[in-house]
Structures are given as structure tokens and as C-alpha cells.
């Protein structure tokens, strides 16, 4: 545990509903709130470490357990068993349920976030979830690391319309969108990534897309040596922190 943050599971609603991993900065008032969604492996040690890093920067951070309807506090390894279980739970997610969980998570995070704004960050499946949140909820900043199925769909969560298919709603709800992508990503083709940008521009979404050449999917996760790229990870993290300072910190 980072000495600069305190963490615990919290209920997001009354009754037997969703939970979230809440991390608060120590010895300082939060400068804003951040909701974080991870890869399809659930609330993993890596995702918790990301939350701690953000809390160390002064934000109230909450990672909702999006799989709670099928398995509570799920967090899987990166082996084939973990992938199988992650795929099973991922394909059971439905957009209206995930949006309800994000709305509850945002409300709790804001309760602890002081006078600052509200952000949503996501990785892989979580990057898709972040853009889904952008189409339905009001965030000052949304950051998506290699989110897939953003425009052409391909999973139940992207039905009936993938998040960037609702770019007008993203423009109405979101202050700024920052998105990262490796040019060698196997989840979403480069052509779709370019069309995502075109759709966002046409809808006048304030945004920035950053493409890393020679980099594949999952480049931020340093627990996955086969896909991790230290330069892309460091650059994207610094860009995200700068965006948080501009759009969220008060």
C-alpha cells in the first residue's frame, strides 16, 4: 500500500448492490474525483495500484466492481483460466447496467472529491466503459487507454450502438476526451481508430488522440511483460496527469 493513500471497499448504493474500491489521499484534501475501470480481468492488483497512484496525486479514486452481478470483487490472473472467466463476465455486461454502476460510482467519488471536478479513466474493456460513460454521464475529463469496440461494436456491451456512435451525446456531456492507442493493437483495427477520430471531430467533441507506433494492446499494464511498453506507458500517464490538472483539479 502506498503510504500516501488509504483504501477500502465501499458500498455504492443501499442494499445488496454494487461495491467499489475507494482510495483517498492522506494528509491532504482531494483535488477532484476519478472513476477508474480496468481490463476485463476485474479489480486486479494492477488496477488497485493505478488507483493508489492517482490518489497519490491528490484525487479521490473509485474503481467500481462492474462484475458484481455475476461474481463479487472479481479479480483474475492473466492466464487462460483468468481470460476465460473474464470473457464470460464481460459478455454478460449490459450498457444500461454498467451506466447505472458508473453513475453510482461517480456520486460516491464526488462525495469524497472536494471542490474538484470529475473524471473517468479506463483501460481496454475499461476504456470502452469510459467512453460509454462519456455518452451518458457528465464528466469534466474522460481518458481511454486502448478501449476497444468503440465504433464498430463487437461485444454485447456495445449494442445496440457503440459509444462513439453516440458522439453527439459525448460532446454534450464531456469536457474533454483523451484517448491512447497502440498502432499494432489486435482488439481494434487502426482504421476503426482513425474513424473514431473522424466521428469525434464531426460531432465537435473536444478531444486528443495519441497513437503509439510499434505498440500493441495492453501497453500500460506493467504486470504483463509480453505487452507492456515502458515508454508508451510513461508518456500516456504523464499526459493523463496533465489533463487531470487542466480539467479536474481545483
Each residue's pLDDT tens digit, 186-205: 999 999 999 999 999 999 99
Cβ-based neighbours of 238, under 8 Å, separated by 6 or more: none
Confidence of residue 3 (pLDDT cuts 50, 70, 90): very low
Length, in residues, of the chain? 250
Q: What percent of the chain has pLDDT over 90?
A: 94
Confidence of residue 43 (pLDDT cuts 50, 70, 90): very high
Residue 32: its pLDDT value, please? 97
Average pLDDT over residues 129-157: 97
Model confidence at 127: pLDDT above 60:
yes
Average pLDDT over residues 209-235: 97
Cα–Cα distance for residue pair 106/15, rounded to 1 Å:
18
β-pairing, 118-123 with 33-37?
A: parallel
Among 3-17, 22-36, 229-243, name the most confident range: 229-243
- Cα torsion angle, 156, 134, 177, 236, sign: negative
**Which one, of 120, 81, 86, lies nearest residue 103 by Cα?**
120
| Least confident range of 18-32, 91-105, 150-164 | 18-32
Cβ-based neighbours of 31, under 8 Å, separated by 6 or more: 57, 58, 59, 113, 114, 116, 248, 249, 250
Strands in the chain per DSSP E: 5-11, 19-25, 33-37, 60-64, 118-123, 141-145, 177-182, 207-212
C-alpha cell belonging to residue 110: 464526488
What are the structural domains, with CATH classification, of the chain? Answer: 5-247 (3.40.50.1820)
Confidence of residue 5 (pLDDT cuts 50, 70, 90): low
Residue 1: its pLDDT value, please? 37
pTM of the model: 0.96
Comparing 28 with 132, the larger pLDDT belongs to: 132
Residue 113: its pLDDT value, please? 95
CA distance to 27, 53, 129, 172, per residue, from 61 (Å): 15, 10, 16, 24
Residue 28: its pLDDT value, please? 82
Average pLDDT over residues 221-226: 95
Residue 18 in 3-state DSSP? coil
Confidence of residue 27 (pLDDT cuts 50, 70, 90): confident
Amino acid at each position: 500500500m502506498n503510504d500516501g493513500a488509504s483504501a477500502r471497499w465501499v458500498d455504492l448504493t443501499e442494499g445488496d448492490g454494487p461495491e467499489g474500491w475507494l482510495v483517498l489521499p492522506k494528509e491532504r484534501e482531494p483535488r477532484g474525483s476519478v472513476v477508474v475501470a480496468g481490463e476485463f480481468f476485474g479489480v486486479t492488483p494492477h488496477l488497485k495500484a493505478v488507483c493508489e497512484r492517482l490518489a497519490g496525486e491528490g484525487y479521490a479514486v473509485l474503481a467500481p466492481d462492474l462484475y458484481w452481478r455475476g461474481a463479487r470483487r472479481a479479480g483474475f490472473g492473466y492466464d487462460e483460466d483468468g481470460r476465460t472467466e473474464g470473457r464470460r463476465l464481460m459478455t454478460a455486461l449490459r450498457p444500461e447496467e454498467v451506466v447505472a454502476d458508473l453513475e453510482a460510482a461517480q456520486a460516491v467519488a464526488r462525495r469524497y472529491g472536494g471542490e474538484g471536478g470529475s473524471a473517468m479513466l479506463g483501460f481496454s474493456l475499461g476504456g470502452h466503459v469510459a467512453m460509454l460513460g462519456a455518452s451518458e454521464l457528465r464528466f469534466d475529463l474522460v481518458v481511454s487507454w486502448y478501449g476497444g469496440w468503440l465504433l464498430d461494436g463487437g461485444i454485447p456491451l456495445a449494442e445496440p450502438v457503440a459509444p462513439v456512435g453516440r458522439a453527439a451525446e459525448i460532446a454534450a456531456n464531456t469536457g474533454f476526451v483523451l484517448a491512447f492507442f497502440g498502432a499494432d493493437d489486435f482488439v481494434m483495427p487502426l482504421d476503426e481508430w482513425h474513424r473514431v477520430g473522424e466521428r469525434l471531430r464531426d460531432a465537435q467533441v473536444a478531444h486528443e488522440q495519441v497513437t503509439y507506433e510499434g505498440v500493441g494492446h495492453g501497453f500500460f499494464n506493467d504486470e504483463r511483460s509480453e505487452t507492456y511498453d515502458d515508454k508508451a506507458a510513461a508518456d500516456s500517464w504523464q499526459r493523463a496527469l496533465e489533463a487531470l490538472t487542466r480539467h479536474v483539479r481545483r
